Amino acid sequence: MSSSSSTSAYAKELLIATLAVHRATLLTNRIFLSPASTKHTLSKSDSSPVTVADFGAQALIISALRHAFPEDEIMGEEEAGSLREDAELAGAIFELVREARLEDAEEEEVLGGGVKNVEEMLGFIDKGGSEGGGKGRLWALDPVDGTKGFLRGGQYAVALGLIVDGDVKVGVLGCPNLGNEKERGGGNGKGVLFSAVKGEGARSRSLGSEGLGEERVIRMKEVEDITHASFCESVEAGHSSHGDQAAIAKELGITRESVRMDSQAKYGSIARGDGDSYLRLPVSKTYVEKIWDHAAGDLIVREAGGEVTDAEGKRLDFSKGRTLTGNKGVVAAPEAIHGKVLEAVKKVLSKKS
């Protein structure tokens, strides 16, 4: 069985989250590698896309969480209404869910085994409707974070975080396309699984169809000269202001071109030292971030020696429901330079007020 920190205060939660995310990536990666026509994209009410991978991964992860922690609340990005009106599509997704199994039978049993039928699958998808809040245990799930990246062949992540009384305690990110761990200390594939428990540091493991590699502790890169730093930012201009980011880089004397990638893979990338800072800058006064887009990544970066705030310097507040209503933007950077980056962010954004 995959190793985990058995002495952790959240040892069981970390194990279940790790195995559940790993199993979900088997499904998402199978779809990712399939012809575009089989991904079957629908549009949600906010015009964002949802694929068969989103539905299948959410069903798999929620089935595992319900088996292990039946009293916990779950907040998932998707709901099954459209599938209940399309029996053929629902059946096709169920076949993908049924076939997504871990090679280790003991690990599969820990997750409660497979989903029995289409109706049970739809029921699991719809159990992600929690409205959240500041009390109790809540799992925040994004089954395919970065759906547009997933569709274009770029980065995406399967993201799962446990929030207890508004505070993120466990975070797991499965990033099937984020670099080859064979070049980073051993592994069996090109994907990476990041994990963190509050107060216990952040770790990464290689992620592949054969299983998970050995854990290795990760830390953010030490930046001695901020002018030599590099930024990560969203590919989609609708998610973060590229113009503001360029102005902030200029303010800091940074000349390196920003690295653009989709999803919470950005959090994982800077946490293991591939980049230095991640900015997600407000694109409008009304735009509000969803908590499932940040819960896992926020914890992983902080446990890797980073600091994560909004553009005003406030910690991200996961106790307000399904969105980060009390925050605007995201600034993630090593603790040593976060203050300088934040100062530049405030200066640039104040000119727009």
Catalytic residue among 142, 147, 293, 309: 147
- Based on the residue annotation, tell me whether 147 is a catalytic residue of this protein: yes
Parallel, antiparallel or unpaired: strands 137-145 and 231-233: unpaired
- Return d(Cα 272, Cα 217) in angstroms, integer: 9
Helix axis angle, 118-125 relative to 87-99, nearest 10°?
90
Instruction: Tell me 7's DSSP state.
Output: T
Number of H helices, E strands in the chain: 11, 15
- Tallying the residues shown for the chain, one arrives at 353
Q: CA quadruple 278, 283, 288, 293: dihedral positive or negative? A: negative
Query: Residue 284 is inside which H or E element, if any?
Result: none
For the chain, the 3-state helix, strand and coil shares in percent, each to the nearest 5, are 40, 20, 40
- Based on the residue annotation, tell me whether 54 is a catalytic residue of this protein: yes
Instruction: Please enumerate in sequence order all residues whose Cβ is within 8 A of that of 284, keeping only pairs 6 or more positions apart, or say none.
Output: none
- Return d(Cα 115, Cα 281) in angstroms, integer: 40
Catalytic residue among 25, 51, 54, 276: 54
Catalytic residues: 54, 147
